[in-house]
Amino acid sequence: MSSKQRVGYQENADNRSGNKRSENNSIFRKKYQSAPELLLWKAPHRNAHLTSLPNSWEDVCDATVAISEGSSDSDSLLEDISSWRVSPEEQAKTRFDSECMERLFNELEIRIENVDEVVETLNAQFGTFELDMISLETHLGDKLMLFIGGLIFEELGYCEDLVDRCMVLNALEIINSRYLSENPFHNACHAADVMHGLYVLLSTTQLRDKTSRHNQFAVLLAAVMHDIEHVGLTNDFLTKSKHRIALENPGKAPMEEMHAVVADHLLQDPQMNLLSRLDETQRTQVLDVVERTILSTALCVQGTLLQDVKHLCETWQAKGDVTDNSLLPFEEQLVLLRLAMHVSDIGQTTKPFTVHEKWVYRLNEEHFLQGDMDKRLHLLVTPSSCDRSQWNTKQFLESQIVFLEGFAIPAIETMNQIPFMDVNYLAQSLQRNIGQWKKQFEECALIQHGC
């Protein structure tokens, strides 16, 4: 690549990653300062095969190709909201009232035409891995992260003691502004979905009992920031093209390193002011959890992460039962939160197939956009999975099977081995989705000349 091409490429990428940073973030602070009591609402691989797993999306594609070739108002509202909670048997689903929800939309300046449809979706899916965040995005637009994030933080009670609710909303607005809406997959909608996935794990397993509240708060913050300023390019592409992000963050996962750095800076920014109620030990742990869990979203570290969890489970087995409600030591909490983040990040693989499929096609389009950039800049560093003219239906279907069997199954099965984290329902959903992709692959094979 010539120096002229490199300069043009860097400027283009820099503009993509920074085109929303020029906004004056102080407006987010001013927006809620007049409402200190802002109305919010309550809200079949086994571990033995880990060394042979693929390390990246590029490895998945290579494997696929190889296979192919061979106040009073506030108090009143919060009282209404407290009644929405139902029994644990309902898998932490929250029941919402249309009238209260409409008042909340007005408070948060969310303008939607069909409140009842949103309420119906929330009542049926919120608090489960079935939630269709893409569908909610069509109603809530760029307020999606603010709505979902505020709902989760208030529902878990963190706004009662750990953080001021106004600061939470300010922070969510700032974080939302640092995501690129033009990314088909790695955008604010995905971040909100991952945060909700972590909320589900905290609400439906004993993870919430075994970890400190400030560390739960931390991992949810990490979830909503885990892809912040993502430029829609893979780590492999960043490294081979000598992108600014790779040069500033050398290593196997420059994108995740960048996300972690940005998240750390935001958390320590006085404008965010999210950690002011925490003591020194809590602040240190929160920053550590945010950094380590974000870095754990890199697919290339999955093998090491799952081995860490397996070793921890073996240690517990040797010591005896750990299924009581006592808190784990910090380092053990951190291992579990890293896994919870990883599972939530790939959690779309366990959603109902119609929802899972939406996310898959979004990611596929993002890869194609990378391939388009590669061609424009004559870099020739992109795998065939990013080339619209080369990546055919059969290869695409095989890549989904390889990814789900190579990454998703080991992660879910490892989590299922933790004594107090029964996620067998996720494993079953994952197997159903694999079955759907295999069915499509078999149908494609029957008409191979048309694929």
Residues in the chain: 451
Domain limits, the chain: 3-70+73-450
Distance CA 291, CA 273 (A): 18
Show the DSSP H helices in 268-352 as ranges: 280-295, 302-319, 330-345
Distance CA 242, CA 224 (A): 27
pTM over 0.85: no
Candidates 95, 54, 149; CA nearest to 398 is: 54
> Would you put residue 253 in left (φ > 0), alpha (ψ -120 to 50) or beta?
beta
DSSP-derived secondary structure letter, 328: P
- Assign 3-class secondary structure to 123-135: HHHCCCCCCCHHH
Only one residue has tokens 């878990």, namely 156
Is 188 annotated for ligand binding? yes
Is 43 annotated for ligand binding? no
Query: Phi/psi at 178 (nearest 5 deg)?
Result: -95, 5
Active site residue 230: no
Is 187 annotated for ligand binding? yes
Whole-number pLDDT of residue 55: 53
Residue by residue, pLDDT tens for the chain (451 residues) are 433 333 333 444 444 444 333 333 332 233 333 333 322 322 233 233 333 445 554 555 454 444 444 433 433 333 343 333 333 334 445 577 888 788 878 888 888 888 888 999 999 999 999 999 999 999 999 999 999 998 999 889 998 899 998 999 999 999 999 999 999 999 999 999 999 999 999 999 999 999 999 999 999 999 999 999 999 999 999 999 999 999 999 999 999 999 999 999 999 998 888 999 999 999 999 999 999 999 999 999 999 999 999 999 999 999 887 777 799 999 999 999 999 999 999 999 999 999 999 999 999 999 999 999 999 999 999 999 999 999 999 999 999 999 999 999 999 999 999 999 999 999 999 999 999 999 999 999 888 765 5
Is 227 annotated for ligand binding? yes
Whole-number pLDDT of residue 47: 34
Is 5 annotated for ligand binding? no
Is 142 annotated for ligand binding? no
Out of 45, 139, 186, 356, pick the active-site residue. 186
Whole-number pLDDT of residue 13: 41
CB 230 within 8 A of CB 262: no
CATH 3.90.1150.10 is right for the domain spanning 3-70+73-450: no
Is 345 annotated for ligand binding? yes
